[in-house]
Chain A
Amino acid sequence: MRLPINLLALTLSILPSTLAVFADEAYSIDYHNELLGLPQPHTTFFHRPQSEEKATLLYTLSDLGVLGAVHPGTGKVVWRQLLDGEGYLRAVEGEGTVVSGTGKSVQAWDAMNGREQWGNSFAGVVKDVEVMETVAAGEGAKDILALFEEEGKAVLRRLKGASGDVKWEYHDPTEDLPLQVSTNVKDVFVVSLHGARGGYNIKVSTLDPLTGKKVNEYTLTAKADVHAPEDVLLVGANSAAPIIAWADKTIKNLKVNLLGKSGSLQTLPLKESDGDIVKVTIHAPELVQSLPHFLVHTHSAVSNRADVYHIDLASGNINKEYELPKLAGKGAVSTSSQDANVYFTRTTQDEVLIVSSASHGILGRWPVKVDKQHGSFVHGVAEVVKKGADSYAVRSAILTSEEDWVMVRNGAEAWTRVEGLSGAVAAEWAEIPESESLAKTLEAEAHSNPLSAYIHRCKRHINDLQYLPGYIQELPFRILSSVLSSDVTSHKPGALVRDNFGFNKLVIVATQRGRVYGLDSGSQGAVVWTLKAFDIPAGKQWDVKGIWVDSSTGVATIRGADGEYVLVQTLTGKVNEKMEPGNWPQVQSAAVVDSPSGPWILPIGLNGNPGDIPSEWAPKDNLVVQGKDGEVKGLKFAVQGSLAVPITAWTFQPATGQKIVNVISRPAHDPVASIGRVLPDRTVMYKYLSPNLVLVTAVSDSAATATFYLLDSVSGAVLYSTTHEGVDTTQPITSAISENWFVYSLWSDILPTTSGLPASKGYQIVVSELYESDVPNDRGPLGANVNSSSLEPSDVANAEPALPHVISQTYLVPESISHMSVTQTGQGITVRQLLCTLTSSDSIIGIPRTILNPSRPVGRDPTPAEAEEGLFRYQPVIEFDPKMILTHKREVIGVKDVIATPALLESTSLVFAYGIDVFGTRVAPSAAFDILGKSFNKMSLVATVAALGVGVAVLGPMVRKKQINGRWQTA
């Protein structure tokens, strides 16, 4: 006896579909990592957002171009802004402002709330931003110096601190590479590199800060040492005596010049300890009132040490004052200034110590108590507070080698931000691997002879008895917790086990920095494990082509563009197998295929060529790839001996002038509960359910058209095509296909030909449904066939080729949709939801399919029969109701992709979004009909049953007595 699936589907369609994230579910079923990206050493600092208050915030402009303020006490993000890429960030000392320079623009931000105060864009690219310090306080907002590279030439602009307007401009006539700008209040210095790549001399131009006119210029010979801009270690910030420093070729000496003093190039020897020096960093205070001291931190392979130098302002001499002894391992040094005092904080694996720049006496020392999982310290910023005469406190925000951002407060770990998780490029769901032992035992018992199986089973049960006391002990707690706990789905943190509802799953996330994370969706997306799969060179991104999780073995395979791959155990993050990039051919894409030896992830080389494959691993089905010129090809594997050779079966080229921008197919898990749609007159339209549908998007930039082609991936036949005119092809054009329908979204203009009719320009979403025939209760050319072939002749007499009957409707939507995907549930009975990423409002919306129904009656109210089938009147605009926003109040930035997977409950689909941020939630598009919500009061149910039980127990004897009495008394 099976419950008819159609009946269930009908019941579900009558249920009201939820459009809402319920208030009591928000922040409980969803999780969100507000990430920034990796903080950069030169753009991270503590700063007082309100100059009159002591409290500071931690500011950073990350490698992903996210500008953010973090509360140093809690580690929570106070505000964030997404800028265009990496850049420069400076705090305006004494004012509640931070200034950023990214891409072409310079922007000033209110340090307290992150609102933009002003922004100004120019033609060139920002090379440096500096705050122009004033001699006296109270001269109004401090001006900003912004260095640009315009057509290979340096341009320096002084921008007014209040408005961002240009005060003066300085154009360098030579084609020298602009490096940095610096100032010592009296003068402005533009440092540029003269020469060609591979050997540069350093040119310092001195400008008058009031007029921007060049006063002086000198060149420092550094051709043998400086090969690239990165070789210049430091161009001193706004200290009283700005310096420029670089190391010689062999890293034996440090060359230092006081900016503005052309004659003084001093050579400071770098002391070696434990072999060659591998890294030198210079730390100097940034405040104008700070003492002119700096620290040189040298790393050898196994240890690190530091020297502190003082600059004599009168003579311009640089003298070594003292040194910090060598300590094993890696360490981070950071500078902190308080009034004129400068403190250096040295953090190594074992201890944190602070020294004053003036003398070598250690002011404070704490042992480091930080989780070893974070790895070694790479760089950090520190804030030293003098609490008493000689008591100090220090907190430092340090980036570790495992890409965590850790706050170390007096040696103890205060908070950790998993910033390495930002910049995710690929993710995939994975089931938590179950212990297979019981299943194996049961299977073994089934195959052995009955007697031995019986004995084995008895033994197993006796063996299981040892767990009984524990089970009985735990039983009251389990009952109590299930009654008292409001959330039925909560589970113990830390325990990675499957739950009865299928909400606990793993997400494997790969980031652009070559790191892989395993997250537990059941415990608010907590990081279960992490590993550095590959070292990605700076400036490059790991291009992950595909992740495939083999649920039978619990192993995830991640394939990258340079032929690299890594096999990771999904439960532990242990690497089973690894291939470094460059050893195997380039990969254009990767596809999960089914072969005679089981499913696997097939890498497809350049120009859509998967190459020859051993025949036992050859895909069973056709493969759809994109060729050299973007054309879509259908590949078939022909077995030749032990090898399977790909043959191009068919090719699809769009109409002339169009280029293919996107090719999508139905999701791998796309079950269909009902094969037809019931019309109001109780007839049925049969769905066109081909598993081989491919939707191709082609655009023509010159003709401003977007054309969508629906192909059969087996035969390559064009089943349907539709075109839009007046499309802005620079705006996102996204599409999704599932079941018997597809949707796409684009920006379309008013066409001159439709001038007579009311028309509109804006973002549109178009939904199309495919049916087997335009006549109800008729399957058209497919007749009564259960199966049909795209290639073989049809057995239905005189049938035409089976082309779908398509009905479409277009709606206007208020904003652009950058990505679309569809929810997935176990049986497909639950109505699907379209998950759309909205970039401009940093959110994800779930649009129910009932709204996106092309059968909605246009220009009239639905008849009662239509209303019964869930149809309601067509409205040309779909308003993005805040109740449909899955991210509710959260701001999820930089979402690249949204992936969905079914839970065990039919009502629920798990959703995970990644990009810069990570967000996950559960959606129940047809309401959670198979699980009790939080509002269900188990206490009152238990109390009612108990009360009734008491009532029965009390009344029972009374009634019995009365009945007996009644009999006796009447008789």
Chain B
Amino acid sequence: MKLLLILIALCAPVLAASSDLIDSTTVYIQSVESSATPVIPLAEIKYNPSTLSAELASFDFPELDPDSKLLRVGVYDIATSSWKSSTSITSAESFAKGYSPTLVLSLDAQGGVIGVSLKSAKIDAGQTRDFGPKVKVLKTAKAPTPALNRPVVLSPEGKLAEPVVEKTMFQKYWWVALAGLLLVMSAGGGGE
């Protein structure tokens, strides 16, 4: 029962996020070695270009020709039979048993797709239960601007505003200490 609650709690952000995944794109793969091989859909990615959250709407492990070693990954336009985005390559081993692929979707500054890449990693069941394929979104970052110095602020008299020097504890409360000292001194001299 407890476990189920935790699971729901874990899934909640994902469920909440899926509602604002406004864009989607379909990723295709093709064998590199010969151009005659068909281009087959691999996955459908739903993503939000501003929050960069994404999920895989579908993912089909492809049935590959055993001869093909390298696969081309990208967004394909079936209507014009051409690649719409930049393509990248990955090894056919990526879809082998014991490995879990991660798709990286690259977006430009406006949220358009630049390209897709795919890389797998070994599954270690000891660390996680989430074996499925994952998706990650990279967006073109705005380059940093020079970190300029702040403008000088002048007082109405045209002078630099002098920062008020914080008084130390002793400067503020010296009279307390003095009073204490007086008390201690005056209280002295018990019956001897």
Interface string of A884-907 (1 = CB under 8 A from B): 000000000000000000000000
Q: How far is the CB of A717 from chain B (nearest CB, A)?
A: 3
* Candidates B70, B121, B138; contact of A803 at CB < 8 Å: B138
In this assembly, does A793 line the interface, its C-beta being within 8 Å of a C-beta of chain B? yes
Q: How far is the CB of A847 from chain B (nearest CB, A)?
A: 16
In contact, A794 and B140 (Cβ under 8 angstroms): no
In this assembly, does B25 line the interface, its C-beta being within 8 Å of a C-beta of chain A? no
Interface string of B113-143 (1 = CB under 8 A from A): 0110101111110111000001010101111
* In the complex, chain A residues whose CB is within 8 Å of the CB of B88: 650, 712, 715-718
In contact, A655 and B108 (Cβ under 8 angstroms): yes
In contact, A758 and B121 (Cβ under 8 angstroms): no
Q: In the complex the two chains form, what is the Cα distance from A790 to B89 in whole Å?
A: 9
Residues 83-135 of B at the A interface (beta carbon under 8 Å):
83, 85-91, 93-94, 96, 99-100, 102, 104, 106, 108-110, 112, 114-115, 117, 119-124, 126-128, 134
Residues 704-718 of A at the B interface (beta carbon under 8 Å):
705, 707-709, 712, 714-718
Chain A, Cβ-Cβ closest to B112:
A655
* In the complex, chain B residues whose CB is within 8 Å of the CB of A809: 144, 147
In contact, A718 and B144 (Cβ under 8 angstroms): no
* In the complex, chain B residues whose CB is within 8 Å of the CB of A803: 104, 138
* In the complex, chain B residues whose CB is within 8 Å of the CB of A717: 88, 104, 115, 117, 119
Interface string of A633-655 (1 = CB under 8 A from B): 01010100000000101111111
In contact, A650 and B91 (Cβ under 8 angstroms): no
User: Do A650 and B87 contact each other (CB < 8 Å), given the known contacts A656-B112, A723-B141, A809-B144?
Assistant: yes
* Candidates B117, B138, B146, B147; contact of A859 at CB < 8 Å: B147
In this assembly, does B46 line the interface, its C-beta being within 8 Å of a C-beta of chain A? no
* In the complex, chain B residues whose CB is within 8 Å of the CB of A802: 119
Among A80-88, A581-589, A759-767, the one that faces the other chain is A759-767
In this assembly, does B32 line the interface, its C-beta being within 8 Å of a C-beta of chain A? yes
In contact, A808 and B114 (Cβ under 8 angstroms): no
Q: In the complex the two chains form, what is the Cα distance from A748 to B147 in whole Å?
A: 14
In contact, A876 and B85 (Cβ under 8 angstroms): no
Q: In the complex the two chains form, what is the Cα distance from A764 to B144 in whole Å?
A: 11
In contact, A652 and B117 (Cβ under 8 angstroms): no
In contact, B146 and A718 (Cβ under 8 angstroms): no
In this assembly, does A874 line the interface, its C-beta being within 8 Å of a C-beta of chain B? yes
In contact, A758 and B151 (Cβ under 8 angstroms): yes
Q: How far is the CB of A566 from chain B (nearest CB, A)?
A: 37
In this assembly, does A201 line the interface, its C-beta being within 8 Å of a C-beta of chain B? no
In contact, A759 and B145 (Cβ under 8 angstroms): yes
In contact, B90 and A791 (Cβ under 8 angstroms): yes
Chain B, Cβ-Cβ closest to A632:
B86
Q: In the complex the two chains form, what is the Cα distance from A204 to B124 in whole Å?
A: 92
Q: How far is the CB of B109 from chain A (nearest CB, A)?
A: 5
Q: Which of A647, A656, A716, A803 has the most CB of B within 10 A?
A: A716
Q: How far is the CB of B9 from chain A (nearest CB, A)?
A: 22
* In the complex, chain B residues whose CB is within 8 Å of the CB of A487: none
Chain B, Cβ-Cβ closest to A854:
B144
In contact, A653 and B143 (Cβ under 8 angstroms): no
Q: In the complex the two chains form, what is the Cα distance from A874 to B144 in whole Å?
A: 14
In this assembly, does B33 line the interface, its C-beta being within 8 Å of a C-beta of chain A? yes
* Candidates B91, B99, B106, B119; contact of A718 at CB < 8 Å: B106
In contact, B121 and A649 (Cβ under 8 angstroms): no
In this assembly, does B150 line the interface, its C-beta being within 8 Å of a C-beta of chain A? yes
In contact, A723 and B142 (Cβ under 8 angstroms): yes
User: Do A797 and B146 contact each other (CB < 8 Å), given the known contacts A649-B72, A652-B86, A718-B106?
Assistant: no
* In the complex, chain A residues whose CB is within 8 Å of the CB of B86: 650-653, 716, 718
Q: In the complex the two chains form, what is the Cα distance from A766 to B142 in whole Å?
A: 12
In this assembly, does A721 line the interface, its C-beta being within 8 Å of a C-beta of chain B? yes
* In the complex, chain A residues whose CB is within 8 Å of the CB of B51: none
Q: In the complex the two chains form, what is the Cα distance from A723 to B85 in whole Å?
A: 18
User: Do A722 and B147 contact each other (CB < 8 Å), given the known contacts A655-B108, A792-B91, A800-B102?
Assistant: no
* In the complex, chain B residues whose CB is within 8 Å of the CB of A655: 108-110, 112, 114, 140
User: Do A793 and B99 contact each other (CB < 8 Å), given the known contacts A759-B148, A874-B147?
Assistant: yes
Q: In the complex the two chains form, what is the Cα distance from A654 to B85 in whole Å?
A: 9
* Candidates B33, B122, B136, B150; contact of A758 at CB < 8 Å: B150
How many of A's residues come within 8 Å of B, CB to CB? 62
User: Do A760 and B90 contact each other (CB < 8 Å), given the known contacts A647-B32, A655-B112?
Assistant: no
* In the complex, chain A residues whose CB is within 8 Å of the CB of B121: 781, 793-800
* Candidates B115, B127, B146; contact of A798 at CB < 8 Å: B127
* In the complex, chain B residues whose CB is within 8 Å of the CB of A877: 146
* Candidates B115, B122, B142, B143; contact of A797 at CB < 8 Å: B122
In this assembly, does B149 line the interface, its C-beta being within 8 Å of a C-beta of chain A? yes
How many of B's residues come within 8 Å of A, CB to CB? 51
In contact, B110 and A793 (Cβ under 8 angstroms): no
* In the complex, chain A residues whose CB is within 8 Å of the CB of B89: 634, 649-650, 714-716, 791
Q: In the complex the two chains form, what is the Cα distance from A655 to B112 in whole Å?
A: 7
In contact, B143 and A718 (Cβ under 8 angstroms): no
In contact, A722 and B93 (Cβ under 8 angstroms): no
In contact, B119 and A794 (Cβ under 8 angstroms): yes
In this assembly, does A118 line the interface, its C-beta being within 8 Å of a C-beta of chain B? no
Q: How far is the CB of B11 from chain A (nearest CB, A)?
A: 19
Residues 535-572 of A at the B interface (beta carbon under 8 Å):
none
Chain B, Cβ-Cβ closest to A858:
B147
Q: In the complex the two chains form, what is the Cα distance from A723 to B142 in whole Å?
A: 5
In contact, B90 and A715 (Cβ under 8 angstroms): yes
Q: How far is the CB of B88 from chain A (nearest CB, A)?
A: 4
Q: In the complex the two chains form, what is the Cα distance from A218 to B166 in whole Å?
A: 95
* In the complex, chain B residues whose CB is within 8 Å of the CB of A798: 100, 121-124, 127-128
In contact, B146 and A810 (Cβ under 8 angstroms): yes
Q: In the complex the two chains form, what is the Cα distance from A791 to B117 in whole Å?
A: 10
* In the complex, chain A residues whose CB is within 8 Å of the CB of B141: 720-723
Interface string of A747-761 (1 = CB under 8 A from B): 010000010011110
In contact, A791 and B106 (Cβ under 8 angstroms): no
Q: In the complex the two chains form, what is the Cα distance from A390 to B142 in whole Å?
A: 80
In this assembly, does A725 line the interface, its C-beta being within 8 Å of a C-beta of chain B? yes
Chain A, Cβ-Cβ closest to B150:
A758
User: Do A707 and B140 contact each other (CB < 8 Å), given the known contacts A647-B32, A797-B121, A797-B122?
Assistant: yes
User: Do A876 and B146 contact each other (CB < 8 Å), given the known contacts A654-B114, A655-B110, A801-B117?
Assistant: yes
Q: How far is the CB of A790 from chain B (nearest CB, A)?
A: 8
Chain A, Cβ-Cβ closest to B124:
A797
Q: How far is the CB of A749 from chain B (nearest CB, A)?
A: 11
* In the complex, chain B residues whose CB is within 8 Å of the CB of A789: 91
* In the complex, chain A residues whose CB is within 8 Å of the CB of B134: 800
In contact, B149 and A758 (Cβ under 8 angstroms): yes
* In the complex, chain B residues whose CB is within 8 Å of the CB of A647: 32-33
* In the complex, chain B residues whose CB is within 8 Å of the CB of A962: none
Q: How far is the CB of A812 from chain B (nearest CB, A)?
A: 5
Chain B, Cβ-Cβ closest to A795:
B122
In contact, A793 and B140 (Cβ under 8 angstroms): no
Q: How far is the CB of A412 from chain B (nearest CB, A)?
A: 60
User: Do A715 and B136 contact each other (CB < 8 Å), given the known contacts A793-B122, A811-B146?
Assistant: no
User: Do A791 and B122 contact each other (CB < 8 Å), given the known contacts A638-B33, A647-B33, A809-B144?
Assistant: no
In contact, A723 and B143 (Cβ under 8 angstroms): yes
Q: How far is the CB of B93 from chain A (nearest CB, A)?
A: 6
A793-B91, A797-B127 known, 15 other contacts, Cβ within 8 Å? A636-B32, A649-B72, A655-B112, A716-B86, A718-B88, A718-B106, A720-B138, A754-B145, A792-B93, A793-B120, A797-B122, A797-B126, A800-B136, A808-B143, A874-B147
22 A-B pairs within 8 Å (CB atoms) are namely: A636-B32, A650-B86, A651-B87, A654-B114, A712-B88, A715-B88, A716-B86, A716-B89, A717-B117, A718-B138, A754-B145, A766-B144, A793-B93, A793-B119, A793-B120, A793-B121, A795-B122, A796-B122, A798-B100, A798-B128, A802-B119, A810-B145
B→A interface (CB under 8 Å): 32-33, 70, 72, 83, 85-91, 93-94, 96, 99-100, 102, 104, 106, 108-110, 112, 114-115, 117, 119-124, 126-128, 134, 136, 138, 140-151
CB-based closest 4 A-B pairs: A797-B124, A717-B117, A655-B108, A793-B120
